[in-house]
Amino acid sequence: MKLATWNVNSLAVRLPQVLDWLAANPVDVLALQELKLTDDKFPAQAFADAGYQAQWHGQKTYNGVALITRSPSADVVKNIPGFEDEQARLITATVDGVRVIGGYFPNGQAPGSDKFAYKMRWLEALREWVRNELIAHPALVLMGDYNITFDDLDVWDPQGLRETIHCTTEERTHLQSLIGLGLSDAVRLFPQPEKNYSWWDYRDLAFRRNRGLRIDHILVSEAIKARASACAVDKLPRKNERPSDHAPVVLTLG
């Protein structure tokens, strides 16, 4: 079984690339973020023609998440139960016996801002939701665009970006509290290239210079960790014409 996550930065723009990528990488589950389209605009037929089912939670202009799956999904939940949220950022479903949560975590803009405070509230609500989900579903994968780096290894310029957004102690403490639920960072379970990032700014030739951040993560429960055989960033789509600023991350089980 293979699972992947990819922030596509507008599914309307990136749909051909997503379909091409799925044809070359026939994963069982693909979590998408930043659809930037309303539910009625979701290209369900295009995925069906490619042999995939889909569950989605869209929103106009911003956010929006989906789970693209080979097998049917069950027990679909949109956003975090009990957490009032105008923004479409989370989708959960059971696929092939695995509880899959796909998330587009808030950006947070800057420490001290209202958006940063929202990010902290959202992260707290997420942690409690995942804590409960783990009890009911020991085989669990939490993946998506976290908008948080784990540590300096995930940052191209750790000194210059110290305590800036995605790199603050407060954000990283929240990320570690997810790990504290019994989850593992799947990428770090396996040997990786140096300077291993998942996002590069569109500006300043950042991709060519590999000035990036690793902010897209796949966290796995103990039961999934025991089945994991590989996990890596696929930088290839970032070399496409009109690429997303993020690259997919792929987890292989068995």
Partner DNA sequence: ATGCCTCAGCTCCTGAGA
- Is 104 one of the annotated active-site residues of the chain? yes
Stretch that binds DNA, among 125-133, 172-180, 199-207, 218-226 (CB under 7 A): 199-207
The binder of DNA chosen from 32, 36, 66, 101 (CB under 7 A)? 36
- Secondary structure (DSSP) of 85-107: -SS--EEEEEETTEEEEEEE---
The binder of DNA chosen from 2, 115, 127, 131 (CB under 7 A)? 115
Does 171 participate in binding DNA (rule CB under 7 A)?
Answer: no
Helices (H), the chain: 11-24, 44-49, 114-136, 169-179, 222-225
- Is 234 one of the annotated active-site residues of the chain? no
Cβ atoms of 170 and 113 within 8 Å: the answer is: no
Nearest CA among 139, 136, 145 for reference residue 233:
145
**Number of chain residues interacting with DNA (CB under 7 A):** 28
Q: Which residues between 49 and 88 bind DNA (CB under 7 A)?
A: 60-62
44/22 Cα distance (integer angstroms)? 14
> In the complex with DNA, which residue's Cβ is closer, 132 or 240?
240
The binder of DNA chosen from 49, 151, 163, 204 (CB under 7 A)? 204
Least separation in angstroms between CB 99 and DNA: 24
Does 210 participate in binding DNA (rule CB under 7 A)?
Answer: no
> In the complex with DNA, which residue's Cβ is closer, 80 or 165?
165
Does 109 participate in binding DNA (rule CB under 7 A)?
Answer: yes
Supply the angle between the helices 114-136 and 169-179 in degrees, to the nearest 10: 10
Q: Of residues 28, 52, 145, 197, which has the active-site annotation?
A: 145
Cβ atoms of 108 and 174 within 8 Å: the answer is: no
213/210 Cα distance (integer angstroms)? 9
Least separation in angstroms between CB 112 and DNA: 13
Q: Of residues 52, 104, 146, 197, which has the active-site annotation?
A: 104
Q: How far is CA 96 from CA 64, 71, 150, in A?
A: 23, 7, 29
Q: How far is CA 151 from CA 112, 159, 161, 170, in A?
A: 20, 12, 11, 12
Interface contacts to DNA, rule CB under 7 A: 7, 9-10, 12-13, 34, 36-37, 60-62, 106-107, 109, 115, 145, 147, 165-166, 199, 201-204, 213, 215, 242, 245
Catalytic residues: 104, 145
